[in-house]
Amino acid sequence: MDIGEMKQRIELLVEEDVSDGQGGYDSTLVSKGSTWAKVTNIHGGEYFFAAAVHLEKDVSFVIRYRSDISEKWNIKFRNQKYNIQFIDNVKYGDQYLEIKATLAG
């Protein structure tokens, strides 16, 4: 991986219950930070994998490794929300994560 390929800024989001100030809670997306990413559309063999699990408008995000991210999180990229479907710790090297996500609709 050439670190220079990570030139798109993404924001990592998680849905959390936040107090509404009146004793109740509202579910809202909370930012867990932003990071640089390599962003590509899924194609070739990856496309068939995506089709098998019914992903539409599939995107692959490659970011530096973080241990706290999960499939319950979302990604905001170019003002669009993507649902994380699969996270791959590339070669179990704890250096990069490849995240497969689909456009939220």
Mean pLDDT of the chain: 88
Q: Which amino acid is at 39?
A: V
Tell me if 102 sits within 8 A of 83, measured CB to CB.
yes
**CATH H superfamily, domain 3-14+25-103:** Bacteriophage SPP1 head-tail adaptor protein (2.40.10.270)
C-alpha count within 13 angstroms, C-beta hemisphere, residue 85: 20
Encoded tokens for 2? 């050439």
Residue 59 β-bridge partners: 41, 101
- Report residue 105's pLDDT band, with 50, 70 and 90 as the boundaries: confident
Domains of the chain, residue spans: 3-14+25-103
Q: How much is the pTM?
A: 0.80
